[in-house]
Structure 1
Amino acid sequence: MPPTPPTAGPADPAAFRPSPAVPRPVQVCIVGGGFGGLYCALALHRRLGKGTPVRITLVEPRDRFSFTPLLYELLTQELAPWEIAPAYRDLLKHTAIHLCQDWVERIDLGQQIVTLRHGPPLTYDYLVVAMGSQLRPPSLPSSQTHTLPFTTLHDAEQLERRLGDLDSLSQVRVVVAGAGASGVELACKLSDRLGARGQVTLVDRRGEILRSYPSRLQRAAARALAKRGVEVYLNAAIEAVEANGVTFGYEGKTRHAQADLMLWTVGTVPRSWPGNDAPKPTLMGQCQVLSTLQLPDHSNVFVLGDMAAMPAPGRDRAPATAQAAYQAGPAVAHNILALIAHRPLKPFVYNHLGDMLTLGQGEAVVCGFGLCITGRLGGFSRRWAYWLRLPTAAHRWRVLKHWLGLKA
């Protein structure tokens, strides 16, 4: 389901009273330009009054933001790359946010210094770390050689090139490893993209698709896969990945699925803390944070998104999703301004409103508030909900004009 702003109210710019003893702008450094980092930077910028002495620096090595839940629409040409992957410089050009396009090599919490790969080091008064997650290291080294991932715009472009290479084939055999959200969405989109030429197989070692999702959503996904003729093998442990396909155990026998194209969507892990000065991680590899998303031993450092074990009512932690990171960004912005102005901080309250998945071209399932919408209406609802959460008003307006066929 679409992410929503956190329940904590916005900071009151009029209440912002920086200490007169500070001779220079307060330095806020935000590491990572995904849903957590970018939306935190934008929220900070919006809530600062004119002339407020705060300098916001966003450190991100990529040149484009990726609205990852809509990456799948690129495969069926329902959306163009510029719609879901706008350039950071375009998003930030009318703001006072400074973009530093570089990699972070090390964070020194004691000295309050961020060391970059190419540029000079950055000092900070307040630090936000939101570097997200990455694909889980494969248990089968050959999977990296013979399969493609699908988590970034670069991955989508790489897959598009590979599909172009297969255009001459009368039949295209695709194997998708992993029946989580990404695997199911890919299987449906690729089946629609390839049509009668496509033979799509979905393999997962667990006993059900979309294991962590509500049963209604699982049933909708199962119907969508069956409608498209996608072969689904559950309780199937992959034993080998070769150039021509995947070998897996199923019902006590060894099977081999021939493939012209293989995609690997088997889980993600939080990105590692840069350098040796890392906070002690949880069992899931995330940073332990307070309810305000601060590090326990460093009140001026916030960690959010996939890297943090963010609190959530009724759960041990918030899910590692765009929805959770989107909500956390403005909450951290509020608390940074509260710290600067010597006001009380507010705890982050994750509000899970439901789930959304695309289930083919123009179709989706949207579950929340006791309702479950599927098919074309689900597809429209999902697209509209995500449009509302594109990063800036200017970009939303440009995308909407394109959808309505208006002149840009």
Structure 2
Amino acid sequence: MKSEFDICIIGAGMAGATIAAYLAPKGIKIALIDQCFKEKMRIVGELLQPGAVQSFEQMGLGSLLDDFDAQPVEGYSLLQGEEKITIPYPENFKGMGLHNGRFLQRIRASALQNESVTQIHGKALQLLENEQDEIIGVSYRESLSSEIKAIYAPLTITSDGFFSNFREHLSNNEKTVTSYFIGLILKNCEMPFPKHGHVFLSGPTPFICYPISSFEVRLLIDFPGGQLPRKVALQAHLDANVTPYIPECMRSSYEQALREDGFKVMPNHYMAAKPIIRKGAVMLGDALNMRHPLTGGGLTAVFSDIQILSTHLLAMPNFNNADLIHEKIEAYYRDRQYANANLNILANALYGVMSNDLLKTAVFKYLKCGGANAQESIAILAGLNKNHYSLIKQFFSVALFGAYDTVRESIMNIPKAIKILSDAFTIIKPLAKNELW
């Protein structure tokens, strides 16, 4: 069939809308399909680490971060008991806290203002194939008429999020639920350290917060386990594991949010990227790869993927050569694995560490020492240091530091020191295997 478009993008979420906004001004004809283009409220994807901000600006989209009350984030603070430490991002870099839905609407508007983008309201149903099993487009049910129609394009990008309908055709990966996040918005909240992300380590379960507007703070509370918690269990969890550890300056805003019963719950997924490379299609964003949102690395990975894929696609003279498109897809999958491995490993490794009392204490004491080790660690978290050796070195430096510190307190702590090293290895081994080999 004759193609009207160069690219069909399934899903106008953060990944799909951003790559459309980036490629459309370059004259590439794009069909952007989604069931709903209205603003949605999400409780994650609201913190852009400096690596995400850098990628977004490099794509020429930085102005979309202006004029909707997004807040600069200058670093991280860790709080354990009465002790507090702050670690600034590397000099001249900053993150941004924002409302995900508002940000996405700005990106969508930027994409749709281009004549080369056709907005299609509908539910994507099935990838279309030719006799050579090459993907040549997608069928969809039009929202207004309920008619079944088809879009044909040399390249179909599936970016329909963590509940992707097309993953089974383009991926071998297995999705697991590592825990759940309870999300609250604290209004007129005074944080211990303004313009910082906060990680609270005092309680038995980690929780984090960061500003998303000039008068709102997002609080994300971990609920361990793979089962969706019932409301009674949620309240009991908050009462026992969170409320006693909320800083005094945040308490009134926190209690008001609880009274308003405004919390939302979402699953935290882990899914390594294991693509099935097929002619005519490529996966992007959460449809391909997910990590625990504890580190706020999701949008860093998404924008990095978009940059890598777009660089390869823009190197082509046109979209008429299916073999060349296939080569570029293979190159994208290869390059993105290196670029995003640190983000994926760190997110889930750090979640494992924060759920382990011995390792959690070791991390706090290690970072409290400051200096080059703290700066190297924050650069990895920020998505600015993609060197795999740096990540593995820092991870085991923390474990060795914790083991040594434990033995130094008492020679009787040797079993604890061995457990620290063993637990660290148990956490990092499967993640490194998934992401690096």
Q: Normalising by the residue count of structure 1, what TM-score does the alignment of the two structures yield?
A: 0.34
Q: Which has the higher contact order (CA 8 A, sep 6+)?
A: 1
Report the structure, 1 or 2, having the larger helix content.
2
